[in-house]
Amino acid sequence: MTHPNFAGQHACLWDYGLACDGTQWPPGFNTSDTPRPKLGDVPYGTKIFNCKVENTLALTYDDGPREWTADLLDILKANGVKATFYIRTINLYWELIAHKFDERSTLIRRIYNEGHQIAGHTWGHKNLDKMTRQQRRDEQIKAEIVLNDILGFFPTYMRPPFNICGPQCQEEMGELGYHVTAADLDGRDWEGNYTYTEQNFMEKIKGKNRNGVRAWLGLAHDTHEGTVHRYTQFMIDNARAHGYKLVRVGECLDDPEENWYRDPLTGDRPVEMPPRDMP
């Protein structure tokens, strides 16, 4: 079993045995029976690749929070930028079990409090298409339990690991009340070739997406030092130089913020949301 503070990837997940992190359930309110009404007009149960609001670019970060996330939040705040964070919740398992440290839970609260959008990236970051229906459902419910335990609500947006979620998976995510978001501006920053990543970014933002709209849904990772300390400022500077407004995913889809989260009891929009640091 791998401690999340000392490794980038859990070596022991649900398909390796009953003693592994991935088979465990986090403590907290079980959202299995939470109703899933459709909130807003953004499609459910079908993968969304593109932003729709002209001249917007959504900055998004997968897999955190990790050691570089605090630095990233500092950079975004210094630039007056709001982004979307897709949280891999197994990273918080030991914090929630041991109650001896609260570093990553605090980061998630900071992400929300500073005005960023929080979305799901499953529990164990496994290929959803290689799971059974029940395993996919468990992945999402466990992720909800963690985020609800920290925030008091859970998101209606998710991104599948590796951007893999076929028709059956998408349908099931829709039944659970999720907008399945992918990306059309992926520079593969996780490979570490930032020259390619930046060239790809520049080529894309000079044109329009496949729907003929000058708008882009990005993909990056706050688990990589180069992404935080090099690529993020590059994206901000060049997007603005080309006339883009940097936004959260819900904004680039013209979805009011009230639709981005779900109350664990009613399944509807949360009645009371904690205050946020907004411009």
Nearest Cα to Cα of residue 49 among 176, 200, 196, 163:
163
Looking at 62, 138, 189, 255, which residue is catalytic?
62
Count of H-run helices and E-run strands, the chain: 9, 12
Our CA angle for 76, 87, 242, nearest 5°, is 35
- The C-alpha atoms of residue 73 and residue 81 are separated, in whole angstroms, by 9
For residue 221, indicate whether it is catalytic: yes
Question: Rounded to an integer, what distance in angstroms lies between the CA atom of residue 219 and that of residue 232?
Answer: 11
CA distance 234 to 232: 5
Active site residue 10: no
Closest CA to 94 of 105, 110, 85: 105
Find the catalytic residue in 221, 222, 224, 255.
Answer: 221
Residue 117 · residue 111 · CB < 8 Å: no
- Residues assigned a catalytic role: 62, 221
